Amino acid sequence: MSKTVFRLAAFVFTGLAATSATAAVNFEKEVLPFITKKCVDCHKAPYTENGQKKEPKAGLRLDASWAIIKGSENGPVLTAGAPDKSSIYESVILPKDDDAHMPSKGEDLTKEEIALLKKWIEEGANFGGWIGSTEGMPAGAQTEATKPFKPRAHDLFFAALEKEVKPVADADLEKAKAAGAQVAPVKIESPLLRVDFLTGVSKCDDSKVAGILPIKENIVQLDLGRTVITDAGLKMVAQLPRLVSLDLRQTKVTDAGLEALTGLKKLETLNLYGTEVTDAGLKHLAKIKSLKNVYLWQSKATKAGVKQLASAIPGLKASIE
Ligand code: HEC
């Protein structure tokens, strides 16, 4: 019993670490909601209340990206990459009895919110296309935020896939969830989905994978790592036409199972860490020309096999150690 608890704790921990190490903070989804709730009442466009004109406190508006970049009457409040040079961050970590502590009234930011704000600034304070209020926006203001948002190559790729699919029906989503799958859009309001079984990897067998087939058109990322699936499960995975990223780490899949995946035309990332896969399996993978990254650490593949795979797919990165 105690062993199970320990394993679970270790697992949850690695899961969290992986998230904070990889996923970039999404401003609109993760930061804007608490700024709006806890800051914007005092830091928004001028308005009139009971015949009195109200100005934003310290001349600082937090209701638009261009306004946040512009700063307060005292100058900039945000320095991309440097939370310690950003009063928007420094003010929320000041002791509560400090006059400059923010919010000066009302509910404080939680530890999680403060951590998100910090990480977002560290990552470059990317507003991801969010503009917010355009009231009072200087004409022709060409700040970073008002320039048309240039998506990264991967976003463009997803945008193309997004056009091909409709959002999944609620009933189909419920079927997948009933099989134990956690389903989330890859980004806000996208019909493309990310699926994992992280809440019950030891219960996720081949029959559970069948449970996600009703939403197969929309799945682009699938994490089956550490589940108890076998090669039979891969026959179902092979039916996901838009699968871009597949995690099979520490599963029982073998070379024979990988053959089923050769029909996946969009697959770019495949994690086979800690599997029994050998060079024979890599020969099947050589047919998936869309592959860009294959992880083979602690598999049975050899350097020679990896070299052959890399020569079959130009630009492929295959890591074995
Ligand atoms: C109840 C009103 C109120 C709320 C809510 C509030 N502020 Fe303020 N804020 C003020 C006032 C008043 C000042 C001016 C303080 C001063 O000059 O001493 C100020 C000043 C600031 C400044 C300094 C601007 C400068 O350069 O002088 C920053 C940064 C700031 N607030 C950020 C925030 C953030 C972030 C939040 C939300 C977490 C927030 N504020 C919530 C009232 C508020």
Asked if residues 301 and 310 have their Cβ atoms less than 8 Å apart, the reply is no
Q: Nearest to residue 173, comparing CAs of 161, 162, 185, 163? A: 185
How far away, in angstroms, is 30 Cα from ligand 1 center?
Answer: 20
How far away, in angstroms, is 169 Cα from ligand 1 center?
Answer: 44
Q: What was the pLDDT predicted at 152?
A: 55
Which atom of ligand 1 is nearest the CA belonging to 35?
37
Q: What was the pLDDT predicted at 21?
A: 43
If the chain, 321 residues long, is cut into consecutive pieces of 10 residues, what is the mean pLDDT of each piece? Answer: 39 38 82 97 94 95 92 91 92 95 96 96 86 81 49 69 92 95 86 91 94 97 94 97 95 96 95 95 96 92 94 89 73
Q: Nearest to residue 126, comparing CAs of 44, 20, 33, 28? A: 28
User: Half-sphere exposure of 74 toward its Cβ, with a 13 Å CA cutoff?
Assistant: 7
Tokens found for residue 63: 């209701």
Task: Collect all residues with Cβ–Cβ distance below 8 Å to 139 and sequence separation of at least 6.
Answer: none
How far away, in angstroms, is 166 Cα from ligand 1 center?
Answer: 43
Which atom of ligand 1 is nearest the CA belonging to 71?
26
**Atom 11 of ligand 1, residue of closest alpha carbon:** 57
Q: What was the pLDDT predicted at 154?
A: 66
Pocket test of ligand 1: the residue of 60, 63, 78, 99 to mutate, having most ligand atoms within 8 Å of its CB, is 60
**Atom 21 of ligand 1, residue of closest alpha carbon:** 58
Return the ∠ at Cα 43 (arms to 41 and 47), rounded to 5°: 75
Which atom of ligand 1 is nearest the CA belonging to 89?
35
User: Half-sphere exposure of 131 toward its Cβ, with a 13 Å CA cutoff?
Assistant: 13
Computed on alpha carbons and rounded to an integer, the radius of gyration of the chain in Å comes to 24
Asked if residues 146 and 66 have their Cβ atoms less than 8 Å apart, the reply is yes
- Cβ < 6 Å from ligand 1: which residues? 38-39, 41-43, 57-58, 60, 72, 74, 77, 87-88, 91-92, 99-100, 102-106, 109
**Tokens 């130009």, located at residue:** 314
**Atom 36 of ligand 1, residue of closest alpha carbon:** 39
Which atom of ligand 1 is nearest the CA belonging to 99?
18
In whole angstroms, give the CA distance from residue 263 to residue 243: 11
Task: Collect all residues with Cβ–Cβ distance below 8 Å to 209 and sequence separation of at least 6.
Answer: 179, 224, 229, 233, 236, 237
Q: What was the pLDDT predicted at 13?
A: 37
Task: Collect all residues with Cβ–Cβ distance below 8 Å to 112 and sequence separation of at least 6.
Answer: none
Q: Nearest to residue 242, comparing CAs of 262, 267, 260? A: 267
Q: What was the pLDDT predicted at 214?
A: 97
**Tokens 């990223």, located at residue:** 245
Q: What was the pLDDT predicted at 320?
A: 83
